[in-house]
Amino acid sequence: MFLSQIYSGTETSYTLKNLSPGKTYYWRVDAIDSFGVTTQSPVFSFKTLDIPITKTFNYPNPFNPNREKTRIVYKVNTDQTVKIKIYSEYGNLVYDTETNAVSGTNEFYYDGKDNSGNILYNGSYICRVEKAEGASKCYILVIK
């Protein structure tokens, strides 16, 4: 296990970017007080997702758009613009947008609103992600 310093500062949170898919990362917090005394946390670990290029999913699912957003997770092979479309269970397009995606796993935060800004009704919706590698889909359940 190789430890290297990633962040030094006074903030209470830090976001890691450009992590490799399917890899285990280890981290520890070293706190140094004003007298130079160091306290170390235990070593923690987490593993990043390695989803297939054809897989799309969202979480939380079901979700309540009055309280939270759902994350639509998908993977692309190259930097590109993707189209995200949400359809009702009857096949009516209720929401669509384009977003920039970077090579690897991406997340799109969806607020559960239609193109007019109205919160979707309770029910099941189909999310379609159109990308250069082909389209993939997942099902979103809205429960308020």
In this prediction, residues 4-30 reach a mean pLDDT of 80
Q: How far apart are CA 106 and CA 62, in angstroms?
A: 20
Summarised one tens digit per residue, pLDDT across range 105-119 is 899 999 999 999 999
Task: Please report, for the domain that includes residue 106, its CATH number.
Answer: 2.60.40.4070
pLDDT confidence band for 143 (50 / 70 / 90): very high
Measure the CA angle with vertex 139, ends 56 and 85; round to 5°.
Answer: 75
- Asked if residue 58 lies in contact with residue 109, where contact means CB atoms within 8 angstroms, the answer is no
Does one domain contain both 86 and 32? no
User: Tens digit of pLDDT for each residue in 84-112?
Assistant: 999 999 999 999 999 999 988 899 999 99
Query: Please, are residues 49 and 105 in contact by the beta-carbon 8 Å criterion?
Result: yes
67 and 28 fall within a common domain: no
- Give yes or no: residues 46 and 66 share one domain: no
Residues 120 and 78 in one domain: yes
Is the pLDDT reported for residue 1 higher than 60? no
| Pick from 76, 82, 86: nearest CA to 130 | 82
79 and 132 fall within a common domain? yes
- pLDDT for residue 69: 96
pLDDT at 134: 93
